[in-house]
Structure 1
Amino acid sequence: MSKLWKIMLVILVSITLISVVALVIVLKFTGNQEKKAPTADEIVASSVDVPEITTNLADGSFIKISFKIQMNSEDGKTEAEKRDFQIKDIIIEQLSTMKPVDFNGEQGKTNLKNRLKEKINQIMQDGKVEQVYITSFILQ
């Protein structure tokens, strides 16, 4: 019986060691890779400027606003540059449904940026919008 216990113990220890080594290797090479925030240069390289747009709001007042749209890649930037007329159309369409009160506070502008991101992503095929930045804003 003693010999059988020794053999079973050696087999169990061997299986455990092999499992631990395999787990460490798998975690080291496949998992736990953190996504680093892009550098300023990477953001600029994948961003598109939307020049100042002046348009009426829903209540007849008007807004002058410009954006920088950060894409997920340089291919996305190229596509967004080709779709600039569609992007401007989406922006004007969204602004025309808004009133000055919709821009109050941080939350109002954040809602606009989120809506623009969602709408622009619907037309994109090669890239996706990562972030929308308001670069100028005048409301009258």
Structure 2
Amino acid sequence: MFKNRLLKIMIIILLALTLIGALTLVLYTQFFDEASAHEEQTIDDILRLSVETDEIITNLYTNHIIRAQFVIELDSMKARNEFEKRDFQVENLIIQELSDMKESDFRGSDGIRQIEEQLRLRVNEIMQDGEVVNVYMNQRVIQ
């Protein structure tokens, strides 16, 4: 009778410790994820995770010539390394996208934002080890 009661108490204590440990782990991961999600990136972090493309010169759909350069912000160093290896593919995608555009597509900030978003989506299609967070048009000249 004594052994049976002792065994029950020991099982209850082990279950209680297991539940406390599981609860602690869940709460810690939840608060840790929230803290990292709310942290703003510093400009140094953004620069470290950004890649500037070479200057690209190509014809637009309307036979105008555009000279443009972009800064691509990535989400991790692993993504940045992959992006640097894929630079020829990215430049090809940019040329394809620019070749389908008209001079009027570059008018106003809404047009530029739309182009940046379109390029972000297209580059993310080829990325495997991360993703593009933002695309910034660094310079553009249309002739």
TM-score category of the 2 structures, normalised to the smaller one = 0.7 to 0.9
Cα distance in 2 for partners of 1:26, 1:126 equals 27
Q: Which amino acid aligns with 2:50?
A: S
- Out of 116, 138, 141, the residue aligned to residue 138 of structure 1 is 141
- Out of 54, 69, 81, the residue aligned to residue 84 of structure 2 is 81
The correspondence of residues 32-47 of structure 1 with structure 2, limited to 5 A, is 32-33=34-35, 34-47=37-50
1:70-105 deviation per Cα after TM superposition (whole angstroms, max 9, x unaligned): 000011100000000000000000000000100110
Unpaired segments ≥5 residues, structure 2 = 1-22
- Out of 119, 124, 141, the residue aligned to residue 121 of structure 1 is 124
- Out of 86, 100, 103, the residue aligned to residue 100 of structure 1 is 103
Cα distance in 1 for partners of 2:40, 2:65 equals 36
1:18-68 deviation per Cα after TM superposition (whole angstroms, max 9, x unaligned): xxxxx9x96676144343221111111111110110000001001000011
**3-state secondary structure, aligned to 1:125:** coil
**3-state secondary structure, aligned to 1:90:** helix
Q: Which residue of 1 aligns with 2:30?
A: 30
Q: Which amino acid aligns with 1:118?
A: L
Does 2:115 correspond to 1:112?
A: yes
Q: Which residue of 2 aligns with 1:58?
A: 61
* Runs ≥4 residues deviating over 4 A: 25-29
Root-mean-square deviation (CA), in Å?
2.0
**3-state secondary structure, aligned to 1:41:** helix
Count of residues in correspondence between the two structures: 119
From the superposition, tell whether residues 26 and 74 of structure 1 become closer, same or farther in structure 2 (CA, over 3 Å): closer
Q: What is the TM-score with the length of structure 2 in the denominator?
A: 0.76
Q: What is the TM-score with the length of structure 1 in the denominator?
A: 0.78
Q: Percent identity?
A: 38
